[in-house]
């Protein structure tokens, strides 16, 4: 059996819940970062509502920002 592929393109195309408290998905986070040119966790939190509950997802939001900034340059 071949293990599932986990390259960045495939994992970014899958939509999953990033913020369970506010029910904000990966695609919503990504769209906010790209569409509104957001550059910090607080900006993403304000724009999407993610990270405004228990705050445990803020690390995941930061990873989206890192991936986005490294993709840009």
Which residues bind to ligand FES, rule: CB under 6 A?
19-22, 50-57
CA 28 vs. chain centroid, Å, equals: 8
Residue whose CB is less far from ligand FES, 18 or 68 = 18
Nearest distance from C-beta of residue 46 to ligand FES, angstroms: 13
Residue whose CB is less far from ligand FES, 61 or 68 = 61
Nearest distance from C-beta of residue 49 to ligand FES, angstroms: 9
DSSP-assigned letters across all residues of 9-73: HHHHHS--EEETTTTEEHHHHHHHHHHTT--SHHHHHHHH-TTSSS-TTHHHHHHHHHHHHHHH-
Nearest distance from C-beta of residue 21 to ligand FES, angstroms: 3
């Amino acid at each position: 059996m071949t293990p599932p592929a986990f390259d960045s393109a495939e994992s970014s195309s899958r939509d999953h819940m990033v913020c369970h408290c506010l029910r904000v998905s990966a695609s919503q986070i990504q769209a906010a970062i790209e569409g509104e040119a957001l550059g910090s966790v607080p900006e993403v939190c304000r724009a999407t509502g993610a990270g405004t509950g228990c705050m445990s997802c803020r690390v995941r939001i930061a990873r989206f920002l890192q991936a986005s900034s490294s993709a840009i340059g």
